[in-house]
């Protein structure tokens, strides 16, 4: 089965249209389905991944994404944000003795945060801006 990848601008237009039609979308999968419906009006062979829709919506400021997460047993690695791919910054707290300790990490792009135990995103709620 053949498929084609739409350009970023085509996906952005489809995201705008989907949010305008449906308002708040309470699932990444539903959001991708709505975007695919919009894209398939132009070309029935278009396909797009859930992660690409999420990242484009966040990076271009089309939607405010509310992130629900669960805590896992793994320790957090202070690398890239699992939601948008941006860099995370340390959340620091001052100790009684004047030093500082790291209590977690936060992404400045999308607002994802985690403590010392890793938070795994489980649900994304897309709200139009």
- Give 65-86 pLDDT, tens digit per residue: 999 999 999 888 778 899 998 9
Q: Which of 49, 64, 79 is the last residue of a domain?
A: 64
Identify whether residues 54 and 74 lie together within a single domain: no
Say whether both 26 and 53 belong to one domain: yes
Q: Are 46 and 4 in contact (CB under 8 A)?
A: yes
Whether 74 and 56 share a structural domain: no
Same domain flag for 57 and 96: no
Question: Is the same domain home to 17 and 59?
Answer: yes
Please indicate, yes or no, if residue 56 is contained in any of the structural domains: yes
Looking at the fold, whether 32 and 60 belong to one and the same domain comes out as: yes
Claim to verify: residue 49 and residue 97 sit in the same structural domain: no
Q: In this predicted structure, what is the pLDDT of residue 1? A: 58
Q: How many domains does the chain have?
A: 2
* Alpha-carbon gap, residue 39 to 37, rounded angstroms: 5
Given a contact cutoff of 8 angstroms between Cβ atoms, the answer to whether 106 and 113 are in contact is yes
- The torsion region of residue 124 among left (phi > 0), alpha (psi -120 to 50) and beta comes to beta
Evaluate whether residue 3 is within a structural domain. Answer: no
Query: What does pLDDT average to in each consecutive run of 10 residues of the chain (129 residues)?
Result: 87 96 96 96 93 95 94 85 92 94 92 91 94
CA 116 to chain CA mean position, Å: 21
Last residue of a domain, one of 64, 90, 112: 64
Domain around 104: 70-121
Q: What is the pLDDT of residue 37?
A: 95
Residue after which a domain boundary falls, among 64, 79, 109: 64
Domain-embedded: residue 127: no
Assess whether 56 and 16 both reside in one domain. Answer: yes
CA separation, residue 17 to residues 4, 31, 63, 124 (Å)? 20, 11, 12, 18
Q: Is residue 128 part of a domain?
A: no
Three-state SS across 14-81? HHHHHHHHHCCECCHHHHHHHHHHHHHCCCCCECCCHHHHHHHHHHCCCEEEEEEEEEEEEECCCCEC
């Amino acid at each position: 089965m053949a498929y084609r990848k739409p350009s970023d601008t085509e996906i952005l237009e489809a995201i705008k249209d989907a949010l305008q039609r449906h308002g708040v979308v309470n699932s990444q999968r539903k959001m991708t389905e709505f975007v695919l419906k919009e894209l398939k009006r132009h070309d029935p062979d278009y396909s797009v991944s859930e992660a690409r829709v999420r990242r484009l919506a966040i990076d271009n400021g089309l939607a405010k994404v509310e992130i629900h997460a669960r805590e896992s047993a793994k320790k957090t690695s202070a690398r890239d944000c699992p939601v948008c791919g941006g860099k995370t910054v340390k959340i620091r707290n001052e100790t009684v003795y004047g030093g500082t300790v790291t209590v977690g990490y936060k992404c400045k792009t999308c607002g994802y945060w985690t403590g010392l135990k890793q938070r795994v995103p489980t649900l994304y709620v897309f709200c139009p801006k």
